[in-house]
């Protein structure tokens, strides 16, 4: 197949995947993520598990670690799920997680204010009592006291295959349809709530004391 035709095929496939992905965006990321991605699962007792999601329902999630038996975690005992330094799921309300959020292209924070207004943008500065967002050509400061919730709108997790190529032979990404729909922002996003002013705030450092 000629290179030009290959690129057209890759882009067309990427758009098809993206259309499907956009329709799945929701507040429960676990229902939409690919089973081809590996994550870190942190339980409330500081036990950490690394692996892929093999099954998830309303009460539990089953993780398949590499070369180990599957492990089932009850959702009420699950604190966070992350890929790299980006959260995919959080069961706590934490302003520290808002402050630590690192956004990549096509990602944003969504704020719901006490006034009922909702705003989205890139965080320019986050302090203990406020957050400054850039949206469009404007930059605005929002006091923490006026914020009800903060959601992280993140691009859907990359597959392990994509991450492997990215790390070992990035030039090969031009042959990977996933590269095109991620680069163009068409991969779809998931909504991860980081902070909710109506819940107790937990800003403790998340650590792993046990690895299984």
* Domain ranges across the chain: 3-211
The per-residue pLDDT for 177 is 66
Token pair of 121 as six digits: 């943008």
* DSSP secondary structure of 188-199: -EEEEEEEETTS
Q: Based on the number of CB atoms within 10 Å of its own CB, is 61 exposed (0-12), middle (13-18) or buried (19 or more)?
A: buried
In the predicted structure, residue 183 carries a pLDDT above the cut 70 = no
The per-residue pLDDT for 124 is 95
Output 6 or 168, whichever has higher pLDDT.
168
Q: What is the mean pLDDT of residues 180-200?
A: 80
Q: What is the three-class DSSP state of 29? A: helix
In the predicted structure, residue 152 carries a pLDDT above the cut 80 = yes
Q: Are 132 and 141 in contact (CB under 8 A)?
A: yes
**What does the pLDDT look like over 28-65, one tens digit per residue?**
556 556 556 889 999 999 999 999 988 888 889 999 99
The pTM assigned to this predicted structure is 0.77
Q: What is the 8-class DSSP label of residue 106?
A: T
β-partners of residue 189 are 155
Centre a 10 Å sphere on the Cβ of residue 71 and count the other Cβ atoms it contains.
Answer: 17
Q: How confident is the model at residue 66 (pLDDT cuts 50, 70, 90)?
A: confident
**What does the pLDDT look like over 93-131, one tens digit per residue?**
999 999 999 898 889 999 999 999 999 999 999 999 999
Q: What is the mean pLDDT of residues 7-12?
A: 40
Q: What is the three-class DSSP state of 1? A: coil
> E-strand spans in 36-129?
38-43, 47-56, 60-64, 71-74, 78-83, 86-90, 108-113, 118-126
Q: Are 36 and 22 in contact (CB under 8 A)?
A: no
């Amino acid at each position: 197949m000629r290179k030009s035709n290959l690129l057209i095929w890759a882009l067309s496939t990427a758009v098809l995947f993206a259309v499907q992905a956009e329709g799945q965006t929701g507040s429960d990321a676990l229902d939409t993520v690919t089973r081809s991605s590996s994550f870190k699962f942190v339980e409330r007792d500081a036990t950490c598990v690394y692996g892929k999601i093999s099954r998830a329902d309303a009460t539990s999630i089953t993780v398949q670690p590499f070369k180990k038996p599957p492990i089932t975690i009850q959702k009420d005992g699950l604190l966070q799920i992350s890929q790299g330094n980006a959260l995919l799921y959080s069961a706590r309300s934490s302003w520290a997680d808002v402050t630590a959020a690192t956004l990549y292209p096509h990602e944003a924070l969504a704020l719901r204010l006490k006034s009922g207004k909702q705003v989205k943008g890139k965080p320019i500065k986050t302090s203990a009592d406020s957050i400054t967002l850039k949206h469009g050509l404007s930059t605005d400061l929002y006091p923490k006291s006026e914020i009800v919730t903060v959601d992280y709108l993140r691009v859907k997790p990359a597959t392990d295959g994509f991450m492997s190529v990215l790390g070992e032979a990035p030039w090969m990404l031009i042959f990977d349809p996933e590269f095109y729909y991620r680069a163009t922002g068409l991969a779809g996003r998931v909504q991860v709530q980081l902070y909710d002013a109506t819940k107790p705030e937990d800003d403790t450092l998340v650590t792993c004391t046990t690895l299984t």
